[in-house]
Amino acid sequence: MRLHQSLTAAAGALLLTLALPTSAHAAAGDFLYTASTGQTASLADPQSGICLNLPEATEENPANSPQNFTDATVFLETDCNGDTYTVMNPGKKLDTHTQLRSVIFS
């Protein structure tokens, strides 16, 4: 009976440990893109799970040509909204036809 209680307690502790939220971590790598000014901009080791609106991207002039060296999903709309998005695996580079205003890293 004691073995059964010990195993149950250990399993419960393990489940609690797995269920506790973990702190956000940074995605290792760089994310490059061409800003609406034509200059190359970058995000180094961005925080995972947080949507970032690109400050250089405007409604009239979105950013373009993303180059991803981490895991990212880029969105045409701000706040990582909308139906137009592209999942980018590490090492993927897209051309000037890919426009973006926000990005989220995983």
How many CB atoms neighbour CB 56 within 10 A?
16
> How confident is residue 28, by pLDDT bands cut at 50, 70 and 90?
confident
What is residue 16's DSSP assignment? H
Q: What is the pLDDT of residue 13?
A: 44
Q: What is the mean pLDDT of the chain?
A: 82
Record the pTM. Answer: 0.73
Could you confirm whether domain 30-105 is CATH 2.60.20? yes
Q: Which SS3 state, helix, strand or coil, does residue 63 take?
A: strand
Domain ranges of the chain: 30-105
Contact (CB, 8 A) for 34 and 65: yes
41-79, pLDDT tens digit by residue? 999 999 999 999 998 899 999 999 999 999 999 999 999
Q: What is the pLDDT of residue 3?
A: 47
Q: What is the pLDDT of residue 81?
A: 96
